[in-house]
Structure 1
Amino acid sequence: MSAAPLVGYSSSGSEDEAETEACARPGVGGRHRGQSPLPSQRLPVPDSVLHMFPGTEEGPEDDSAKHGGRVRTFPHERGNWATHVYVPYEAGEDFLELLDALLPHAQTYVPRLVRMEAFHVSLSQSVVLRHHWILPFVQALKDRVASFQRCQKSPRVL
């Protein structure tokens, strides 16, 4: 059984060495079979391309006033999604009255506290998911909670 060589090596004659050196040095016999010599420097990138997507290098502006006073607990990174699991809470009149009574007192200690429009009970802390993990995460969560009975809001008797 004979095996064909994988690579065919050329002879190591002085003719081949001279040709290789000439091709490696632009400007000295650099044209080989219709090829032009390689430029010694790269061309500059136009400003229009450099500034095509302004603000993408620094990341998004982190202004808590734009999202209900919430403050980011970890820095934003492109491709990451901050995720948490929660149950929405529909606030009743009693809850809102209690909130209105407590909020001014709490603001003496933490002035930036504000009343939120919607309420929820968090079931997890914020975690980071990559985009391609979101659907498997949601499906796994649905599979886990499928066996739980749904809670119905019952009227409160005073």
Structure 2
Amino acid sequence: MALVDYASSDEEDEIVESTSTSNANAAQSLKRKREESASDLPPLPSKFHDLYASTTRVSTRDDPSLHGGRKRVMPHVEGNWPTHLYIEWYPSTTEYSSLDALVSLLKDTWPPEATDLKVNSFLTSDLGAPLPLHISLSRSLGFSTEQKDEFVSAMERAIQSSTVRPFVVSFADLDWVSNFENTRWFLVLKVLKPDLNALNKLLHISNSVVQEHGQPPLYSKPATTKSDVKARNHSGKRRSINHNSALLYKDMQDLSSAFHISIAWTLTDPSQELLDLTKSAKLNHFDPVKQIQVVVEDIKVKIGNVVTSLPLPKSVNLGKSLFGA
């Protein structure tokens, strides 16, 4: 019977080491392939994010301690549904990194115990998950149960009969702005005026429907002349408007300087030190952000925890009025 040629202990070590190296190389190669495949995947559809837009309600009253010191802008009223109109944006991994570089220079400026001076990021949740950003098209609104469905239907009719097609926005500047109540300040990306004045048109449509339902408009300038006052007093009435662009947006205001995306916030008026840091961040890290282009294909209506996506029309039907009448 032939003797079996067993490997020596030295040879066994070499075999084990070779096998381990081979397995490690294979695992690393597989990881690279997965990362490359992931980077090539198309973004998730907008409606997928809408399914998971709800948040857990942890209190039935306004408790700033649960929200980093923030106070509710619109007091909670039983039976009222908090409502918001906005354009939503999920930054890609590369875009997120560019934005994070801006915020990271600012948010750790002060010690953790100085909560009033703390800069808080809008980019991620408390658990580090990426969050969507948005361009507001309304204030915080409140509708009764009887009103909310009709409001969504009215917005859908207005958008579908509008002349606003999908468009692209990009960013012009980095700045700090306050809310209407001066209770919070926001680090914002100022938005460049897009082609065909699309943002002003969307806001004009949104404000018209909002006022029609007894709610205040967003960014609307105060009326200064008698004719302005008369037009403003009649702005809440349902109307049929010819789709000639000169008539459709006849009373539209140019509010281009007001549009922005908030990426961080603080509870106090930014100090000179914070303004200097912001200027430094803009000088050193803003160029990649200026290259970002956000494609706008729909607007969101969030009522309570339910989000409805209203797609912009791909083509324009000239036979209908603004409100589908």
Question: Which structure's residues are more often helix, by fraction?
Answer: 2
TM-score computed with the length of structure 2 as normaliser? 0.26
Q: Which has the higher contact order (CA 8 A, sep 6+)?
A: 2
Question: Which structure's residues are more often strand, by fraction?
Answer: 2
